[in-house]
Structures are given as C-alpha cells and as structure tokens.
Structure 1
Amino acid sequence: MDYLVIGLGITGISTVKTLSKKGLNVYAYDSNISSKEDEPEELKDLKYTLIFDLEEVISKEIICIKSPGIPPHNELIQKISSRGIEIVSDLEMAYRLFGDRNLISITGTNGKTTTTMLVNHILNESGKSSIAIGNIGVGMLWEIYSNPEVDYFVIESSSFQLDSTTTFRTKVAAFTNISPDHSDWHGSFDAYFKAKQNIFKNQNPDDKLILNIDDKRLCKLKNEIKSEIISISLEDKNALFYYDKPFIYRGGKRIIDARKLRIPGLHNVQNVLVAAAITNALNISDEDIERACYSFNAVEHRIEFVRELDEVKFYNDSKGTNVDSTIKALSSFENPIILIAGGYDKKVSFKEMFEQYGDRIKKLILMGETASQMQEEAKGVKDINIVKDMKEAVELSYKVMDKGDVVLLSPACASWGMYKNYMDRGNEFKDLVNNLGD
C-alpha cells in the first residue's frame, strides 16, 4: 500500500517522517510547494517522493492522509475522492499504526485544549510519562513513533480530524460539550456534530466515555453510545463527578476544592471535572489528581494572564475562536471588561454573546471581517470602536482603561486572514501589552 500526504504543515511533516521511518512508500504534495528547493528542511534527508502533479499517483492503490485544515469540499480532495481513493486524517492513521499504545482522546467545541493539557499534567505529576499531542499544534504521528517508552498520549481531537476517521478508537475518550462552530468547513452544524461523534463511534462496552450530561445535545446520544458512560456535571449531583460549590466530588466523596485552582471561571471547573474523570478511569488516585489540579496553570492563549498595569489586568484569550468560548471568558470576570474581538467570518451569529454578557462590556473594540456584524449585533453595548489592527486595539484599550478594568482579547472568531493562527494573534497581543507604558 502506498501513502499520499496532502499538505506539508505540522501534521503533514509529522506524517511523512513517520511513514518514511516505518519503511512505507510515501508521496507528498503541497499546493504551495512548486519545486524541490521549497521542500521543508525536516524532510530533506528522508526517503519519500515530493510530487508536483497529483496525476502521477492518484491512479495508484493509495491511501491519502490530508491536512486537517483542508475541508472535504476542497476541489483537490473532491478529485481524489472521485477516484475511489480512501482519505483519512492523521488521527485515523494514529490508530491504524499505533492502536496498541495508550491513546486518550478528547473532543468538544470548547475546553478541549485546557482539558488535554490538564490530563497530561496530572499523568506526569502522578509518576506516569505522558505527551499531549494533536490539535494543540503538535504533530501526533511523529511524537508517538519517536517516543516508544512513553506511557500515555493525550490527543486533542478536532472535528476536522474526526471527520476523516473510520476505525479510530481509544479506550478512554471524552466529549466535553457541543455548540455551533465551523459551519464554513463542515457545511452545517449537523455535519459538525456528526464528525464529533466519531470520538465514540468505534468504542466497545469495555471502553469508557466521559460525557458532560449538562449538555442536552450530548445527553440525547446516550442510546448510541456502546461504551461505559462516566458522567460529569456542574448541576446534577447524580453524575459520578459533580460540582457543588466550592467542591468537586466523585461519587459523593469530596476530592477537589475549586477555590484552590489557578484557572478562573466555571467553565474551567467543568474542564477539571472531565480531566479528573479521565485520569480516575486510568487508575490515578484522588490524591494525585487533587495535587496536580492545584499546581496546574492556565494554558497559553486561553484566558492567560499577561500583566497588570495601573491596576488594570490584561488577559490573552486568543484561543477563544468561537462564540461559546468567548461567552465563557466573559463569564470569568466581574470587573468592567474592555473586550477586543473580531476576526475571520465563520458565518455565525454573535447575538447570544452580547445578550448574555453585553452588560459586562465597558468598551468593545472590533477588528477583522466580522467587525461590522459584531457592531450591529452588540445590542446593549454603548461604546464600540472598529480598528484596523491589533496595535490600534491595544493602544485604544490603554487610552480608555480605568483602575479595576479587565482588558480581554477574546475574538470569538478564527484568526485566518489576519494571522497564521491563533498563537500568532495571541503573541502579538502579549508583545504589545508588555510594551505598554514604556
């Protein structure tokens, strides 16, 4: 069997390296690479074939592994699919190549990055070796291949990756929540939700699925789930893991004091519930889980504290790439908020965000494709400005801020079109903020 890797970003490079080192016959194609001179440095000494015309290989018996960012309606992908060629993601290949390793998968619209990193932290702090991989920006195949002694691999699994799976399965998985997102990529919310459900589709009764039963859409899936459901809840004390302010319980036993957590907001209590359930399923003790949760710091770009200046606190939530994640960020603060938002247009409404928390927004600073739409939908927010870039946004926030305010970057939008990714956006924000007052 031959393999064709489409796209040579983080995922593609990781995939080519792994398949090549395993002695498989690999072809690679990237529409942005037009000559051998543009070949990624990491691939130059590997045995594989960089191609510039897909017709060279798509008639062969071949499996195509595509970059998660390439949507199924892409013309190139449609062409390959029309030839009867199987198209899979690196997530699917991880299971096919390394299904005997201890893989843990986590998905959901929001919270999956924090939960992934927290699970990884708990495992490492409890004496296990663990690596967080996947949608957090780490090519999973090469990490698994090159770390044969590692006990666990915790995979943040995106809908893009799950969409192209057929046999993928992990013995322990988690579904944190679901809300509208990525309709531009999937075509509809139903298609997006269906892709997410591949997290449990191939599990069997001996496997475990951590499920947030506060989410009504997820609750409706119960009859379709064959694995053992481990319930978590912020509201229902009948769940195995539940929150009764200020404590987190497992089966009625108090295990974590949420007041001692270093990550703010009720949504992060939910992330801790999921992480505790996952690691408990892996036989980590309550004591180890509790200790690790107290020492865990916020994930970079997720309500990340940047600095305090003139008694104003600045937070970077560039990972807030959809409405629900920004709602959670806004709910984390009681102080007046200067919100910097806007970005790539994913064809969603922002009304819910402003209806719920518009009264907390002292000033709204908008940029990107969605600025005008947000301005129109921001009912109840009286002070709104549209700016051309992040520099102007940060300078304006500094000019209007008062003692006790919170300046929050939480775009509710993807970064595409203005930045390479949310990390670039967040890093620019942090650089600008750290230079204020100089």
Structure 2
Amino acid sequence: MRFAELAGRKVAVWGYGREGRATLAALRRRLPGQRVSLICSEAEAEQARTFHGDALDYITQEPYAGLLWSFDIVVKSPGISAYLPAIREAEAAGVRFTSSTALWFGENPDARVIGVTGTKGKSTTSALIAHLLRRLGRRVALAGNIGLPLLELLDTPEKVDFWVVELSSFQTSAPTHLAVGLVNNVYEEHLDWHGSRERYVADKLALADRAAVLVLNGLQPELLARTAAHAARRVFGSEAGWHLAGGQVCCGGEVLFALAQLPLPGEHNGLNLCAALTAIEALGLDARAALPAVRDFVPLPHRLQTLGERAGLTFVNDSISTTPQATIEALRSLEGRPVSVLVGGFDRGLDWGEFQRHVQLHPPLAVICLGASGVRIAQQLAAAQPAFRLEQRISLAEAVAAARQLTPAGGVVLLSPGAPSFDQFHDYADRGRAFTQLAGFDPQSIAAIEGLGIA
C-alpha cells in the first residue's frame, strides 16, 4: 500500500509507540491536509496532544469491530495482534489494515532489501550484515524492528545500496519484495500474539514467499522441511556452507576465522556471523573479504553485554532474552564459570522443560527466579531436586541483592530472564537499564545501538 491510497479516505493510526509516531509524521509530510484519527490510551493521547494538538481525532476507548468499521484504512502498530476478533470482523466488513513497514515498502519498490527474522539473534545478525557491507564500501541503511522504524528514513535524499531490515514475526508479511530473506531460527515465542506455535512459525516463514534468495539455518530441520520448495535457498550451519567447527568459522572445508576473535560471546553468535556471511554471498558479494572487519564490530546492548566488574563480580546484561532457549545459550557462553542466573518475568506460559534439563546436566551456581513467571519456574526446577542453589524473589532489585550474596568473588551475575519484561518494566531495554543501575553502572552508557540509520 502507498500513501496515495490513503488520500481522501477515513484513516486511523492505531498505537502511539515509535512506529505510530513515525506513521503520523510521514502522513503529515505526505498528506498534509489529511484528517487522521489516533487510537491509543489516555496517557498516549496526552503525549500526542503535545505534538499534534487538535490536528488529530483521539479515540481512547478499546477498539471494537463497530468502531473500526467507521474507517477505510487502519495503520496498525506491530504489537497489536492481527488475529484479534475485532480486527477479523472489521476485515470481513471491508476495512483495510496496513502498517508503517508495509507503507515504506509500497513507497520503495526498487530498494534492495535484506530482511532478517528469527526468534533469537535477528538484531545482532542484522547489525553484522550492515557492518560488513559497509566495510565492503557499500552505502547501507540499518532499520526496522532493531530500533529505527523504516518510515523515519522515508524521504532521505541519500542513495542507499542496501537496506538491512530486521523484521519481527509481527512484520514478516509487510514486505512486498526482498533481495534476500534470512530466517535465523524458530523457537516458541509470542504465542499470545499469534495464538499458536503453528501460526507463529507460519507467520515467520511468510518472509520466504517474498525473498528472491532465502537464507536458512541448516541446523533446524523444521525450517528446511517447510521451505524445501523455495527456488533459491542457501543454508548456513551445515558443512557445505558457512558453519562452525572446532572453535573456527569455516566455509565448506576451509577454516577462515577463529571464533575467539569474534567480539561476541557464545557459539550462537558464531552462527549469527555465519548467517550474515551467507546473506552477503547471496547478494553476489565477497564474504571472505568482509570477514576480517568483524573484529571491529560493536556488540548490541542488552545481548550478553558484559557491563564490567563490581566487588569482584562480573555483571552480564542479557535482558533481550525472552525465551528459555535464549537463557540456555547465555549459560553455555559462560560455561566453566560460577554463574548466578536471574530468570523470570511476564508469564506467557512457555515450556521451561528444556531449561530444566539443561541446568540438571550443567548446573550453574544458582538460579534466582523472579517476576510473574518465577513461581512456576521455581516449582518446576524444585521438583527435579536441583544440584544448584534455587531462590525465588519478587523484584529485580531483590534478585540482584540475592545474587550478590550467593556469588563468590570471580563469579558472574547474569540477567537472562527467558521471559518478557512487561510484568514490571516497559520493555527489555528498561529492564536492562534497571539491572545496569542495580549492578552499579551508568545505564546511559549502554543505551545506543551503533550503526542505526544510513552510513
């Protein structure tokens, strides 16, 4: 959909997060005389009035089908599930739903886009691709779910060779075209939005239908089986392509880079690098020539981010971890060190069985459960008679205090919750900043993602 299709229509923007604000700004530039309604909370409406005054019509009640029927087009923020009954009923009545991401793609049909998705690692993989392409002398935009809505770059006068766009599972149906689509992995997540694991996987793989070349994780049989019909598919993680072996990054039978030189901890980040290199080759470029530049890559905040040492303890911020599988990978990256790990948060009912089996085989020093899901996690771990210290706390502050007491000098306090943050925090970044402050570091020092935008 293009902005021209919104002209003269009854249009609503649903949500006043960053995507919603970017949409309103773009509408003001492209369609200055267009009357627009904003569907949002009372608090968001107060914020919006500061910038827009009476230029918008504000709707602060919970949208129902009858209300949505009064619009021709609704630009929906990604966090609002497309499967809500009110949306389904409105669609059946002829209301069209779109998104800021879809509008950007409609306005940029010739852009060369690398779309990146996956349950875990998509931000790091996107940033790695952008970093390596820039080192090859290309002009690159890094945007999307990573923290910069595409519409904020809509009217840039700069020529861009490649657009690296991170796409959440809420956004993978928005692109109309992708030069390369990359699916890093698929685990269980966001079931509250998608309704089932099957639908979650199907929505993730909507990206495959839009990709001229599809890059996949060869270590996930489900992904391989479900995309077998794709005409142009490249695989990483398996011996034929970019993969890891014996602590080395390899391509086919060629050993090219020591994993220890990667400024990102853990084998899962080595696989993220393999994914990025495969995507660069899919563009017809020399990935081997780009590989040495990975030494200069600056890791993203809240992703196994070593904050530093306080009172003999090392603090690691992995607040981005919102699945048990991510917490397992965090523990693997610190194997051999005494670790007290903080887990729990908003409870989406995810299965912690695999985590339980992992910590039974590879016990950390302590597991400290907190937040809304902490009770359930602690009960499941206690039932297996764990060989580690098991504690339960309500707040993050209490959990950090317990970790300080339990962890000996030289040990690690790891925040890797395996759950979303919004039982106690606005988002994972808010949670990560709180942990950083509780650990004794400046939360402002970890805020920025290097490389966002065009460079």
Does the TM-score normalized on the shorter chain lie above 0.5?
yes
Which residue among 368, 388, 396 is the counterpart of 1:390? 396
CA distance, structure 2, for counterparts of residue 43 and residue 251 of structure 1: 56
Cα gap change, 1:26 to 1:6, in 2 (>3 Å): farther
SS at match of 2:367: strand
With the length of structure 1 as denominator, give the TM-score of the two structures: 0.89
Shift of 1:251: 4.1
CA contact (8 A) 1:58 1:83 kept: yes
Q: CA deviation at 1:36?
A: 6.8
Give the corresponding residue for 1:365: 368
1:372-412 CA distances to partner (integer Å, 9 max, x unpaired)?
11001223254222212111111111122102322110000
CA separation of 1:272/1:74 partners in 2, compared to 1, >3 Å: closer, same or farther? same
Q: Bigger shift: 367-376 or 33-42?
A: 33-42
Give distance in 1, aligned partners of 2:67 and 2:355: 49
Q: CA deviation at 1:114?
A: 0.8
Say yes or no: does 1:337 pair with 2:339. yes
Letter paired with 2:355: M
Which amino acid in the other structure matches residue 418 of structure 1?
Answer: Q
Identify unmatched segments of 5+ residues in structure 1: none
List alignment gaps of at least 5 residues for structure 2: 443-455
Counterpart in the other structure of 2:179: 171
Q: Please tell me whether residue 39 in structure 1 is matched to residue 45 in structure 2.
A: no
**Alpha-carbon distance between aligned partners in 2 of 1:382 and 1:259, rounded to the nearest angstrom:** 29
**Residue identity in the other structure for 1:225:** H
The 3-state SS of whatever aligns with 1:115 is: helix
User: Is the CA contact (8 Å cut-off) linking 2:106 and 2:176 kept in structure 1?
Assistant: yes
Tell me which residue corresponds to 2:123.
Answer: 113
Q: Is the 8 A contact 2:20 2:77 kept in 1?
A: yes
| CA gap 1:317/1:106 in 2 versus in 1, 3 angstroms | same
Tell me the amino acid that sits aligned with residue 400 of structure 2: V
Equivalent in the alignment of 2:270: 269
CA drift of 1:34 comes to: 7.7
Q: How far apart are 1:416 and its partner, in Å?
A: 1.2
Aligned to 2:239: 237
| 1:323 maps to amino acid | P
CA distance in 2, matches of 1:315, 1:298: 13
1:51–1:121 distance in 2 versus 1, CA, 3 Å = same
Cα distance change on mapping 1:18 and 1:265 into 2, 3 Å: same
State the 1:202 CA deviation: 2.8
Aligned to 2:197: 189
Q: Determine the C-alpha separation between the residues in 1 that align with 2:35 and 2:53.
A: 14
Instruction: Name the SS of the counterpart of 1:155 in structure 2.
Output: strand
Aligned partner of 1:407 in structure 2 is 413
**Total equivalences in the alignment:** 424
Tell whether 2:365 aligns with 1:355: no
Contact 2:185 2:217 in 1 (8 A): yes
For residue 177 of structure 1, what is the amino acid of its counterpart? N
Deviation, 1:78, is 4.0
* CA–CA distance in structure 1, aligned partners of residues 267 and 291 of structure 2: 17
Matched residue, 2:161: 151
Aligned equivalent of 1:131? 141
Letter in 2 for 1:221: R
SS of match in other structure, 2:59: coil
Question: What CA distance in whole angstroms lies between the structure 2 residues aligned with 1:369 and 1:418?
Answer: 9
CA distance change for structure 1 residues 323 and 35 in 2, over 3 Å: closer, same or farther? Answer: closer
Distance verdict in 2 for CA 1:361–1:218, change over 3 Å: same
% same residue: 26
| CA contact 2:261–2:295 (8 Å) conserved in 1 | yes
Any residues of structure 2 matched to 1:283-362 within 5 Å, and which?
A: 283-334=284-335, 335-358=337-360, 359-362=362-365
Give 2:222's aligned residue: 217
Q: Answer yes or no: is the 8 Å Cα contact 1:321–1:411 preserved in 2.
A: yes
Q: 1:176 to 1:35 in 2, by over 3 A?
A: closer
Q: Which residue of 2 aligns with 1:417?
A: 423
Distance 2:45 2:200 in 1: 37
Aligned pair in 2 of structure 1 residues 222, 194: CA closer, same or farther (>3 Å)?
Answer: closer
Shift in alpha-carbon separation, 1:266–1:57, aligned structure 2, 3 A: closer
User: Retained in 2: the 8 A contact 1:90–1:161?
Assistant: no
CA RMSD of aligned residues (A): 2.5
Deviation at residue 237 of structure 1 after TM alignment: 1.3
Q: How does 1:13-24 map to 2 (within 5 A)?
A: 13-23=21-31
Distance 1:94 1:77 in 2: 22
Aligned equivalents of 2:59 and 2:299: distance in 1? 43
Structure 1 residues 35, 11: closer, same or farther in 2, change over 3 A? closer
Mean alpha-carbon deviation: is it higher for 244-253 or for 300-309?
A: 244-253
Question: What do residues 48-76 of structure 1 show as CA deviations (whole Å, max 9, x unaligned)?
Answer: 6434287788445x332211111134355
* Corresponding residue for residue 431 of structure 1: 437
> What is the CA deviation profile of residues 313-340 of structure 1, one whole-angstrom value per residue up to 9, with x for unaligned ones?
2100000011111111111112121011
Q: Does the 8 Å CA contact 2:365/2:407 hold for their aligned counterparts?
A: no
Tell which deviates more after alignment, 208-217 or 71-80: 71-80
1:429 corresponds to which letter in structure 2?
A: F
User: Helix, strand or coil: the match of 2:299?
Assistant: coil
